Chains A and B, each alone.
Chain A
């Protein structure tokens, strides 16, 4: 039975793990993720979810337990944030190198020091090189849908990579809003039983991920890159199929809003991408042709889509909810990289906003947009990232 529930995005993520018929969950609590796995623990206890819940002593162990479970041939799930994700760092490499389709919810939280429990994207973005697919959600419905879609994507034989489904702490994790839970039978029809590229077998024993000399290591890595490129093709198809079946879709790789005739396009990620639509509407009412493009999938980076967006616009502005110290925001860098070889690329202004949970309102985004339009008319853009709402 399809139902609409009102709950926090964390609890809704728990519902998604249940609906995806996950068989093993190994997790360690951390604010603001904990209520995801608490909800799953409730489901396992009540019997609504037929799964093994493993209480481990750290996030490092959580991921390793998931790797072990996935290697035996079952669908696995875990969740973490910030320092928990950082603690799992080496195991993230292991999971992707082992080509295991693990799905993990990352509730984005700022990294310490200084200690912060509030949201920004530093945690998951610092893991962008680990070979994990990364989704960034703008509302709780997308959290549910993306977890289901992630399993379908990761278990595709042309992919077999793990995925992070990211949602901002507190803004989504602890905010109570409605979401549609589709009919379980329909979800089962959309998401077939777990499929993996390999699984441990006691009757034909082998071990995985053993020592590989310089003779073949590069080729194994190339195969991961191929899988990422395949994912770029498959993600839009999966989102479209989900949309047809359930009436819900989220833009594939990039959710575009009024970009077709936009002079300025704001590139954003996460909930800032949702709020940006309000700014776009307000500025359009005032005669400014602004559009917003929310980067839903950060890995693989949708370079081709960005090139297409840039073709029709005169100015780009990126809003990064984190900074790579010594350089700039990741979205700014990678967008520039995607456009580098185009002679006709528009100028790009990179903005840093919302670190450590600093609120980013439609007004803040309007300030960013107006500043970008001024750069466009002046014909001059600052090279350094522009920090928004910074105190003197």
Chain B
């Protein structure tokens, strides 16, 4: 969180980093999240890690949510929240890098935090891959988790409302795709498990 005095108002900015593999929709997740917050009157940014990306390689995407217009344009180094789309990426990437001490990681996984080596962090887990398979939400052979995970994010962090995420999802995908993605988002919201180890909420 940054506090910046703009006039007499203190601006609170929340920063989010999203980990995934190229092609999984990390950038889309950032954009849909920004869109959802925008519907709630927030000022937002969403951007990819600036560089060449390829399918399957680890990628990062970022979002900022603020009460005040965003003047900052530099990179995010100390996110408040981390979203992990890929269940196994933690083996090759340190998903906790720079994460604030009282930050929250929203993880697409069937495992428990200690099995992921994240015992000392505030972790929220949901099997978004399982939900995608359940609903046959598969594109080009990949189960789509980038939207449903945002339902989990909404429940875990309360930074956006579920309704806002659903509205953003429906604006991004119309018709049947929109409905499937929305259903996945709702299920992820319902099935999210919080593992707050020691840190006060």
Interface residues of A (CB under 8 A from B): 6, 117-118, 138-139, 168-172, 174-178, 271-272, 274-275, 277-278, 281-282, 285, 357, 359-362, 364
Cβ contact of B47, chosen from A175, A275, A364, cutoff 8 A: A175
Q: Which residue of A lies closest to B69 (CB)?
A: A139
B72 with A6: CB separation less than 8 A: no
Q: With A and B bound together, what is the CA distance between A276 and B44 in angstroms?
A: 19
| Chain B contacts for A175, CB-based, 8 A | 45-47, 73
Q: With A281-B5, A282-B4 as given contacts, are A171 and B46 in contact (CB-CB < 8 Å)?
A: no
Q: With A118-B50, A174-B48, A176-B31 as given contacts, are A278 and B71 in contact (CB-CB < 8 Å)?
A: yes
Q: Which residue of B lies closest to A284 (CB)?
A: B5
Q: Which of B26-46 contact A (CB under 8 A)?
A: 30-31, 34-35, 38, 43-46
Q: With A6-B35, A6-B38, A176-B31 as given contacts, are A171 and B43 in contact (CB-CB < 8 Å)?
A: no
B47 with A117: CB separation less than 8 A: no
Q: With A and B bound together, what is the CA distance between A176 and B44 in angstroms?
A: 8
Q: With A6-B35, A282-B4 as given contacts, are A176 and B47 in contact (CB-CB < 8 Å)?
A: yes
B4 with A275: CB separation less than 8 A: no
Q: With A281-B5, A285-B5 as given contacts, are A174 and B47 in contact (CB-CB < 8 Å)?
A: yes
B34 with A275: CB separation less than 8 A: no
Q: Can you list the 6 inter-chain pairs with the closest CB atoms, starting with the nearest?
A: A170-B50, A271-B73, A175-B47, A176-B46, A361-B74, A274-B71
Whether a CB of chain A sits under 8 angstroms from the CB of B52 is yes
| Chain A contacts for B48, CB-based, 8 A | 174
Interface residues of B (CB under 8 A from A): 4-6, 30-31, 34-35, 38, 43-48, 50-52, 70-75, 77
| Chain A contacts for B31, CB-based, 8 A | 6, 176
Smallest CB–CB gap between A271 and chain B, Å? 4
Q: With A281-B4, A281-B5 as given contacts, are A275 and B52 in contact (CB-CB < 8 Å)?
A: no
Cβ contact of A177, chosen from B44, B50, B52, cutoff 8 A: B44
Smallest CB–CB gap between A30 and chain B, Å? 14
Q: With A and B bound together, what is the CA distance between A357 and B45 in angstroms?
A: 18
Q: Which residue of B lies closest to A172 (CB)?
A: B73
A–B Cβ pairs within 8 angstroms, 7 of them: A6-B34, A172-B73, A175-B46, A176-B30, A275-B73, A285-B5, A364-B74
| Chain A contacts for B77, CB-based, 8 A | 361
B72 with A278: CB separation less than 8 A: yes
Cβ contact of A281, chosen from B6, B35, B50, B51, cutoff 8 A: B6
B74 with A360: CB separation less than 8 A: yes
A275 with B74: CB separation less than 8 A: yes
Cβ contact of B73, chosen from A169, A176, A274, cutoff 8 A: A274
Q: With A118-B50, A285-B5 as given contacts, are A178 and B74 in contact (CB-CB < 8 Å)?
A: no
A359 with B75: CB separation less than 8 A: yes
| Chain A contacts for B52, CB-based, 8 A | 117
Smallest CB–CB gap between B192 and chain A, Å? 25
| Chain A contacts for B72, CB-based, 8 A | 274-275, 278, 362
Cβ contact of A275, chosen from B45, B50, B51, B71, cutoff 8 A: B71
Smallest CB–CB gap between A39 and chain B, Å? 15
Q: Which residue of A lies closest to B47 (CB)?
A: A175
Instruction: A138-B73, A178-B44 given; name 16 further pairs at CB < 8 Å.
Output: A6-B34, A168-B73, A172-B73, A174-B47, A175-B47, A176-B31, A176-B46, A176-B47, A177-B34, A177-B43, A177-B44, A178-B43, A271-B73, A359-B75, A361-B74, A364-B74
Q: With A281-B5, A281-B6 as given contacts, are A176 and B74 in contact (CB-CB < 8 Å)?
A: no
Q: Which residue of A lies closest to B171 (CB)?
A: A6
Q: With A and B bound together, what is the CA distance between A24 and B195 in angstroms?
A: 58
| Chain B contacts for A176, CB-based, 8 A | 30-31, 34, 44-47
Q: With A and B bound together, what is the CA distance between A278 and B52 in angstroms?
A: 30
| Chain A contacts for B50, CB-based, 8 A | 117-118, 169-171, 174, 357
Q: With A and B bound together, what is the CA distance between A122 and B174 in angstroms?
A: 42
Chain A CB within 10 Å, residue with most, of B44, B46, B52, B73: B73
Smallest CB–CB gap between B46 and chain A, Å? 4
Q: With A176-B45, A282-B4 as given contacts, are A277 and B38 in contact (CB-CB < 8 Å)?
A: no
| Chain A contacts for B51, CB-based, 8 A | 117
Smallest CB–CB gap between B40 and chain A, Å? 12
Smallest CB–CB gap between B35 and chain A, Å? 6
| Chain B contacts for A362, CB-based, 8 A | 72, 74
B74 with A359: CB separation less than 8 A: yes
| Chain B contacts for A272, CB-based, 8 A | 73
Q: Which residue of B lies closest to A363 (CB)?
A: B74
Smallest CB–CB gap between A190 and chain B, Å? 24
